[in-house]
């Protein structure tokens, strides 16, 4: 399986358990790792033979900047599920969501959640 990586996307969302997070919002980072067959795209040099990463970005942005989730785990799960539903040529997706400024009185680079989802033989989305 080939890989497509979309790294370092930044969005502004209102996710979190605390009311202040839902009211004020903050930046969230998202990385995607897709497993798919890119042989046709590599040989034909045709955008229709691959997943358009501008569209991946747009869908991810819509999710992150849309309805708030309490947990970044739920946010990452929604991204994974919606990407697999929208792009049938993606066999497996890893989604990393980073919340760089959790509301704690500690200093670190944030919290990252990583979820992996794939299609089973029947086309259903399952946890890897």
Give one DSSP letter per residue of the chain, joined into a string.
Answer: -EEEEEEEEEEEE--SSSHHHHHH-EEEEEEEEEEE--HHHHHH--GGGS--HHHHHHHHHHHHTSS--S-HHHHHHHHHHHHHHH-TTEEEEEEEEEESS-SSSS-SS-EEEEEEEEE-TTS-EEE-
Of residues 7, 61, 62, 99, which has the active-site annotation? 99
62 is catalytic: no
* Residues annotated catalytic, as ranges: 99
């Amino acid at each position: 399986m080939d890989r497509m990586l979309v790294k370092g996307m930044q969005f502004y969302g209102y996710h979190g358990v605390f009311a202040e997070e839902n009211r004020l919002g903050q930046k969230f980072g998202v990385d995607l790792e897709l497993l798919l067959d890119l042989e046709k795209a590599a040989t034909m040099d045709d955008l229709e033979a691959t997943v358009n990463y501008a569209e991946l970005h747009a869908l991810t942005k819509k999710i992150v900047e849309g309805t708030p989730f309490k947990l970044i785990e739920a946010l990452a799960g929604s991204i994974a599920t919606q990407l697999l539903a929208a792009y049938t040529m993606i066999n497996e997706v890893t989604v990393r969501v980073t919340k760089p400024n959790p509301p704690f009185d500690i200093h670190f680079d944030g919290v990252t959640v990583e979820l992996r989802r794939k299609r089973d033989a029947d086309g259903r989305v399952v946890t890897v």
